[in-house]
Structure 1
């Protein structure tokens, strides 16, 4: 290899070598996790941002306020559900008349009561209390319960819209997206506030920027060392 600039090439090798050394360390279990479990850098940062995401996603109180006015609102709908049998069991345990006929779920009763039960289960899941959810449904797995809520309520939205119950459908959508989905997705993850982890979060973001620039300068110096550079082309002058 023809080295055009030894100093630039050496600098590039040092930068690339140290970059690779840090890259190797990132994948080593050197970072503390929950319960004393060692984690690598990617696992640690992913765990941190999951906790921060959960800490900023507690919308259940505002969803409860939207559900409250629907107490006493009677509905009677029938629609297709992927988990009609599980949904019927969960709905019935929540105080609603629900039956499954194949993939068809028939629901009759107080919509507010039904949604309040879904929000209560979502709140317990958000707080990592799956045991209390399972206890309310004769030991049914808490994750299966939440899946039943999703598959039972999601197709109900269109059924309510067809019955010109648009506002009710909007509340069901809010319960699904801001309560049921949040409780299910973040189950088992401790919540953390951004202000409590501000130092670590800022440190990770700064490291990411510097590490990217580090790699860029390593490539630049190596290419400069072997004479590969970019120069502005000369403008041809017309005769």
Structure 2
């Protein structure tokens, strides 16, 4: 056997072994060996919990909202339907405002600072996965439904304040909607974790991703070289 033939055989064997190892690890990774979950689910949960911890803006929003204490709020909101308007009336009433729903319209009269404070109290409960506390404040209504109603109400409130040319207030409504209401709705049920607590598994997962990708690439390259192809760049 010529030297070139031996080299090709070596590369083909090496490449085949590397690809088979890649496939074996892939199968194991997607098997439920991590407390009943596969590796993708485990890492997805890990990174979601870390990102939730880094998205905790509620204390800072409470400080910013305090400057609106005593600010009169009087507006008519247009909501998607009558049910949403009725649910929104409960939310604003819980914030000490007068709230009257008629069809898909909701008339509110109250203190903007108190509305922000009530919203942020609800989102604080949801951030800590304490939906039962939020439900108890609103006649046992589903916590996620009420939080979604806050989101709908804030979208309508932002439009109403812009029509009144209260642009600074409208802008802060949008901030609370995105950084508190939307954030806690999306992350509900996930336990927040600091990256400092899980830095080792994060580092290992990133290193694994790099090595695993390179492993597959070299395996395929060796197989092509074993088949007689010369790969260049």
Q: TM-score, normalised by structure 2?
A: 0.92
2:51 aligns with 53
Q: Deviations over 1:77-116 (max 9, x none)?
A: 1131122221122212221112222222222111111111
CA contact (8 A) 1:3 1:227 kept: no
CA contact (8 A) 2:123 2:184 kept: yes
CA contact (8 A) 1:6 1:225 kept: yes
1:8 aligns with 11
Tell me which protein shows more helix as a share of its residues.
2
1:143 aligns with 144
RMSD of aligned C-alpha atoms? 1.7
TM-aligned CA deviation for residue 231 of structure 1 = 4.8
Q: CA separation in 2, counterparts of 1:3 and 1:229?
A: 15
1:35 aligns with none
Q: CA separation in 1, counterparts of 2:106 and 2:215?
A: 58
Secondary structure of 2:197's counterpart equals helix
CA contact (8 A) 1:158 1:169 kept: yes
> What are the residue-to-residue correspondences of 1:203-214 with 2, within 5 Å?
203-214=204-215
| Residue ranges of structure 1 left out of the alignment (5+ in a row) | 33-37, 233-239
Equivalent residues, number: 226
| Residue ranges of structure 2 left out of the alignment (5+ in a row) | none
**Equivalent in 11, 15, 20 of residue 17 of structure 1:** 20
Between 145-154 and 164-173, report the one with greater CA deviation. Answer: 164-173
1:235 aligns with none
CA contact (8 A) 1:4 1:227 kept: no
Between 147-156 and 82-91, report the one with greater CA deviation. Answer: 82-91
Secondary structure of 1:39's counterpart equals coil
Q: Which runs of 4+ in 1 moved over 3 A?
A: none
Secondary structure of 2:139's counterpart equals coil
CA contact (8 A) 1:4 1:226 kept: no
Q: CA separation in 1, counterparts of 2:167 and 2:158?
A: 8
Secondary structure of 1:184's counterpart equals helix
